[in-house]
């Protein structure tokens, strides 16, 4: 039984941009027999995420992430369909997911590590379980709820960086659903900015590659910024933080601009920005969605409900 697999090929090191030569595609075989407790699956979807850059370092900088091993199959969030099962929870035809899904076209997996999916919860869009109704959506929802301190009726303004990305596009919409009165996104093209406003319900969006971001922020957030969903770090975040209000909140989701550099996580702020943060009592605490898995089931159901009701738009 031949399968294709995507393997880590050469180490990259902490500094540098990943390239195709860091990986290789191989064809191999998998076992003919499925053992007790296992299932054979056909892979349908794989999730490619920014955090994976950290897994290309010998030290991922995190105790919950293991580095990819040289010449071993890469893995991450994945979805597949069961072709054969010797696990009591699964039958042929079931859709299943795992956070450690191997990047190969078919696999034999430990059934205890899989979760069964119900396609009807996401109107049949299975891939949503890796996005809006998966870890990505959970990160957006729990980030807003646990670290954003959004209160309905408080007339808060939220800014989202990396706003057209998988997480950012959801976070802005969720900020609105949770009670923010104004949501402004920051993205990298006019097309993305247009989608945020026309399709995702953002009040406005800034193309950070055009014009003066600080000036545009002042115009679009005249009352300052109360909640900042930070996906990127770096200069963009310094600019947003400079316009944040007293006792405001940063949701520290990601620092994508820093992932190809050898810096600690979360990266320290420049002295001037750190001074503003402290003087204005702005919270900036590391946020890790895996610390809130006791709220996973209820949160996924909430996300699915919003998707079914058309309140959460997904691209």
- Structure-token match 């009701």, residue found: 309
| Furthest C-alpha separation in the chain | 65
Handedness of CA 88, 92, 95, 100 (dihedral sign): positive
Identify the band that residue 64 occupies on the pLDDT scale cut at 50, 70 and 90.
Answer: confident
Superfamily for the 2-117 domain = Medium-chain alcohol dehydrogenases, catalytic domain (3.90.180.10)
For 135-309, CATH number? Answer: 3.40.50.720
H or E element that contains 228: strand 225-230
Residue by residue, DSSP assigns 167-178 as: HHHHHHHHHHHH
Q: What is the mean pLDDT of the chain?
A: 91
Question: Lowest-confidence range among 10-14, 40-44, 48-52, 167-171?
Answer: 10-14
Q: Running DSSP on this structure, what letter comes out for residue 73?
A: B
Coil, helix or strand for 219?
Answer: helix
Closest by CA to 117, choosing from 76, 89, 75, 84, is: 89
Give me the residues paired with residue 137 across strands.
none
- CA separation for the pair 232, 128 (Å, rounded): 23
Q: What is the CA radius of gyration of the chain?
A: 21
3-state secondary structure of 129: helix
What pLDDT sits at residue 53?
84
Residues in Cβ contact with 104 at an 8 Å cutoff, skipping those fewer than 6 apart: 3, 4, 5, 6, 43, 73
121-152 pLDDT, tens digit each: 999 999 999 999 998 999 999 999 999 999 99
Judged against a pLDDT cut of 60, whether residue 1 lies above it is answered with no
pLDDT of residue 63: 73
Using 50, 70 and 90 to split pLDDT, how confident is the model at 15? confident
Confidence of residue 70 (pLDDT cuts 50, 70, 90): confident
pLDDT computed for residue 307 by the predictor: 96
How many CB atoms neighbour CB 297 within 10 A?
Answer: 9
Q: Is the pLDDT of residue 105 over 70?
A: yes
Q: Mean pLDDT check: name the lowest of 61-75, 172-186, 223-237.
A: 61-75
Domain assignments of the chain as residue spans, ordered by start: 2-117, 135-309
Mean pLDDT confidence for 53-81: 86
pLDDT at 18 (0 to 100): 86
| Residue whose pair of structure tokens reads 């699956």 in the numeric block | 41
Q: pTM, whole model, 2 decimals? A: 0.86
């Amino acid at each position: 039984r031949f399968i294709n697999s995507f393997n880590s090929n050469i180490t990259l090191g902490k500094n540098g941009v990943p390239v195709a030569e860091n990986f290789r595609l191989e064809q191999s075989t998998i076992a003919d027999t499925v053992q007790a407790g296992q299932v054979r699956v056909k892979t349908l979807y794989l999730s490619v995420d920014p955090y994976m850059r950290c897994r290309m370092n010998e030290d991922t900088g995190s105790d919950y992430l293991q580095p990819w091993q040289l010449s071993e199959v890469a893995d991450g969030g994945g979805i597949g369909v069961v072709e054969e099962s010797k696990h009591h929870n699964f039958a042929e035809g079931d859709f299943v997911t795992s956070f450690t899904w191997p990047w190969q076209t078919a696999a034999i997996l430990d059934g205890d590590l899989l979760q069964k999916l119900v396609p009807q919860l996401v109107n049949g869009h299975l891939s949503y379980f890796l996005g809006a109704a998966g870890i990505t959506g959970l990160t957006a929802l729990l980030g807003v709820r646990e670290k954003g301190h959004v209160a309905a009726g408080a007339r808060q303004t939220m800014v989202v960086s990396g706003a057209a990305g998988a997480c950012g596009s959801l976070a802005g919409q969720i900020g609105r659903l949770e009670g923010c009165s104004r949501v402004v996104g920051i993205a990298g093209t006019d097309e993305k900015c247009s989608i945020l406003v026309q399709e995702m319900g953002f009040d406005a969006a800034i193309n950070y590659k055009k014009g003066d971001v600080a000036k545009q922020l002042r115009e679009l957030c005249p009352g300052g910024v109360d909640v900042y969903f930070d996906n990127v770090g770096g200069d963009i975040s310094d600019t947003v933080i400079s316009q944040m209000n007293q006792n405001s909140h940063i949701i520290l989701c990601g620092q994508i601009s820093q992932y190809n550099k050898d810096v600690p996580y979360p990266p320290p702020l420049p002295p001037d920005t750190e001074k503003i943060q402290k003087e204005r009592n702005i919270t900036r605490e590391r946020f890790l969605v895996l610390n809130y898995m006791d709220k996973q089931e209820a949160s996924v159901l909430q996300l699915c409900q919003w998707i079914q009701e058309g309140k959460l738009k997904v691209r």
